[in-house]
Structure 1
Amino acid sequence: MTAPAVTIPAALRLRGYRAVDLPLLSGDWLPGELLGLPVPGRPALADPASVPPPSPGRGLAEEVLVLPETAFVRFSELDWVHRRARLEIGLRPGAAAVAGPLLRAALAHAHRTLNLRRVYGWFTPGAAHPHDAHDAPGRAAAHPRGADDAHPHDPRGGERPSAAEELLRSAGLSPEADVPQALWLDGRPVDRQIWGVFRHD
């Protein structure tokens, strides 16, 4: 069954987490992902990814915001001395179109409200993303990326960046490191990358 499309608000505004937002904190994305897009074809019996709701015990080490009924934004590993944090986003099915505006809103909050200099997070090139399927139908299924594939940014590989990678770059992020075989996905190990953005004061 196709998930209903999510209407993108004219003015995308994040707000603080409330108890009623708990269903947004689990879904079919990969754990810790920057974009947090639901992974197509995820097995029905697979445990959903999830993040814990905010807790007083974690205090100033994290912040969770939501786009009501659509997505959450979580800043964890907050380091107020070095002004950096790890960002992860989780979107509900049908919300892929809001991924770009939501990512930019999250980064704006990080820089302007939290006054962070560095924001970073995980990206998994080997996962099929709804943006890629929309950009080039069948490409992700016909040419899945894995640990043995050419690096997506290696010009010798002859492969242009995916739509998801272009979305990250358009928001100002860039790849910082590769972590080989960092995640088990679809019965095989896949590489992950750390992407980040650094703001110079």
Structure 2
Amino acid sequence: MTAVALTGAGPRLAGYRAEHRHLLTGPWLPGEGLAMPLAGWPALAPWHTVEAPEPGAARYGGPGVAVGRVAEVDGVHRRARVEIGVRPGAVEHVPALARLAVSHAFSVLHLHRVTAWVTPALDPPTSALAAAGFTPEVVIPQGIWFDGRPLDRAMWTVVDR
């Protein structure tokens, strides 16, 4: 498990601590590879909370900035899924967080393939995923239910070559 503190020099890894727990909650869709704060989030609606750290998963984030994790780590097939939840006002840190997630997955966890789910209708800055090496792989029509209607979901993938 890891946490990231964002400094003027960019993100850096640090061990996950109990005081980082507040970073695991935000106004984003669960499981999103690039979950941006959703505009119009109802004032009384609870924010999504990422589960507590689990064995084999990496977590990163910065005070008031973002949280993420490498989830569903499959050590046999060397693959996993990345989730990044961005706190309000921290969109400029998304490219660095996406690159850090990929770097950690490949160099520390020794994975070969990393995927990220994206909901295109929410207009996430997919250029940040592209800058980290992700490419769109498949679109799942009506793959998620949100705001009373089905939305398409896209899977983006990066492979360590």
- Shorter-normalised TM range: 0.7 to 0.9
Letter in 2 for 1:89: I
Q: CA deviation at 1:8?
A: 5.8
TM-score by length of structure 1 reads 0.72
Displacement over 4 Å in runs of 4+: none
Q: Whose radius of gyration is greater, 1 or 2?
A: 1
- Equivalent residue number for residue 33 of structure 1: 32
* Root mean square deviation of aligned Cα: 1.7
Give the alignment of 1:72-83 within 5 angstroms. 72-83=67-78
Q: Conserved in 2, the CA contact under 8 Å of 1:124 and 1:192? A: yes
Deviation of 1:72 after TM superposition, in Å, equals: 1.6
- When normalised by structure 2's length, the TM-score is 0.88
CA distance in 2, matches of 1:15, 1:83: 23
The aligned amino acid for 2:128 is L
Change over 3 Å in CA distance of 1:37–1:9 after alignment to 2: farther
Q: How many percent identity over aligned positions? A: 45
Q: Equivalent residue for 1:175?
A: 136
Match of 1:195 among 122, 140, 156: 156
Higher helix share: 1
Give the superposition deviation at 1:91.
1.7
Partners in 2 of 1:78 and 1:30 — Cα distance?
A: 20
Mapped contact 2:28–2:48 kept (Cα < 8 A): yes
Structure 1 residues without counterparts, runs of 5 or longer = 1-6, 130-163
Q: What is the letter of the counterpart of residue 86 of structure 1?
A: R
- CA apart distance, 1:98: 0.3
Paired residue for 2:99?
104
- How many residue pairs get aligned? The number is 156
